[in-house]
Amino acid sequence: MDIFDNVFNAEGVVIVGAGLAGLFCALKLAPRPVTVLSPMPLGSGASSAWAQGGVAAAVGQGDSARAHALDTEMAGAGIVDHGVAESVTAEAAARIDDLADWGTPFDRDALGQFVLSREAAHSANRVVRVSGDRAGHAIMQAIIARVRQTPSIRVLEGITAVDLAHAEGRIVGVFCRRLGDRYVEPVFIRARATVLAAGGLGGLYATTTNPPSVRGHAMGMAARAGAIIADPEFVQFHPTAILTGRDPAPLATEALRGEGAVLINDSGERFMEAIHPDAELAPRDIVARANFRQIKSGRKVFLDTREALGEKILTAYPTVAQYCHAAGIDPVTQPIPVTPAAHYHMGGVKVDEDGRSSLPGLWVCGEASCTGLHGANRLASNSLLEAIVYGARIAEDISGLEPQRRPLPYFAGIAWDAEKGARAEEVLRNLEAVKDLRATMSADVGVERDMEGLKRALRTLLELEETALEVTRAYLNMISSATLVAAAALKRTESRGGHFRTDFPHTHADWQTHTEMTLAEARAIRAQA
């Protein structure tokens, strides 16, 4: 019999996470029964809903999937998987059709054709958008409405997964906590197929554009279960988070620079022209480092939309305009103060072309995964594309599996040691520990890195882990993800894409390969720091 009283049978498939990747997968699995776990009310805790740019897809006249793939590989700094780039960009148009069929109100011209915008490092206008900068929100609203109309999809809100369950060599479900429940007993949700789609790790940094819940829980959970993690050192910092003092920081979309907005410092100097031939439309890592260095030297950085857009920003980019007005900034007459912020994780749980991880029974999609599409630096608006392509692939892969007639094994893997109901002082200590973790990651594992800082970060993470062992598994997931990022960054003695080492500032052919690492290997590196 089960060793837990709180056992829930997912009737086949459980999807951890309710962002675009998870919900798209659930819809593609219909009419197969699916249980979706969402820690927050649908749409409120997912990075997908915050995406401003749109979905990259070669659907415009004169564009091609091949050109899109080439741009993806160019931006990825030498380690994009060629086959993945080719296949994902080839599937893009079909997945856009899915979103449109499910009610996404994409911007269209008088002839009904998609209105396409251009973003950094794209060779053509190919970003399909909604109301200028509201793509993520609009797509999620359409998807959520479709999910609510689909009887085969059961959504459990207020449930957070904190551990994967394994038995007889495979993942057989997840352990969960009810939101705000600090009692000893977890909820065990049993499933034949577990899909992890719970987002990235931007919230491990003090300055981020990600929702507060996106703090490496998915990758940490999988890593603690023994999954192979790929390319964890590659974190993308968006160059233009709006500097308002808010946490998380609002985003000024890339599309503004695509329309001619420029970066200036507090002396009014436009500095990107001297750094890269594409100036403000250079790859994100280059623009982010340029902004970082301006700020490090004591200057302030601004995104100036006044000449390029003027009053058009109010109607074409209402989300950005609203963020500015809330901070007392008039973007029509004033430049917008910006700063680099942790935005996207190119690394994640290593998966194959069907979204399968190294752990039988576990599929991963969205930002929690590493498919090989992004390499060392993600091309703008490829994130939502990857989410829907792999959400669909995982659904197809799971649907094609032969039904297992024998019952699932009862959970007999790791013992759930008593995670005591947290006392008030433990909760406060944990909040302070999270604050310390985020400050450490920003200071020493951020836009620019070096050996001394990375070793210091690893020592701090070890200390934080040792003092947090009796607090929560969710915090251990955060520490595990942070350790993987820092350890891989220390191991990669070169600079490439989103990973920049001031002590190894050049790219080397010997490192033109993916990092693959387990948590045990990362901890071994940490122990030597």
Residues annotated as catalytic (active site), given as ranges:
284
Q: Are strands 235-242 and 336-345 parallel, antiparallel or unpaired?
A: antiparallel
Measured in residues, the chain has a length of 529
DSSP secondary structure letter of residue 166: E
Q: In this structure, how many other beta carbons lie within 10 angstroms of the beta carbon of residue 181?
A: 14
What single letter denotes the amino acid at residue 361? G
Residue 256's nearest CA partner among 307, 291, 212 is 307
**235's tokens:** 């974190």
Residue 332's nearest CA partner among 350, 340, 320, 347 is 320
Distance CA 58, CA 36 (A): 31
In sequence order, the β-bridge partners of residue 235 are: 345
In terms of C-beta density within 10 A (0-12 exposed, 13-18 middle, 19 or more buried), how is residue 10 classed? buried
Contacts of 202 (CB under 8 A, 6+ apart): 47, 208, 209, 210, 214, 215, 235, 248, 341, 342, 343, 344, 345
**Between vectors from CA 136 to CA 362 and to CA 103, what angle results, nearest 5°?**
90
Q: Output the 3-class SS for 446-458.
A: CCCECHHHHHHHH
**DSSP letters for 337-376:** EEEEEEEEES-EEE--TT-B-SSTTEEE-GGGEE-SSSTT
Residue 475's nearest CA partner among 431, 425, 519 is 431
Query: Tokens 């999809």 label which residue?
Result: 153
Cis bond upstream, residue 31 (ω within 30) = yes
Query: Tokens 């399968």 label which residue?
Result: 356
Distance CA 461, CA 481 (A): 10
DSSP secondary structure letter of residue 36: E
Cα torsion at 506, 512, 518, 521 (round to 10°)?
-50
**DSSP letters for 193-256:** EEEE-----GGGSSSBSS-TT-SSHHHHHHHHTT--EE-TT-EEEEEEEE-SS-SSPPB--THH
Q: In this structure, how many other beta carbons lie within 10 angstroms of the beta carbon of residue 278?
A: 15
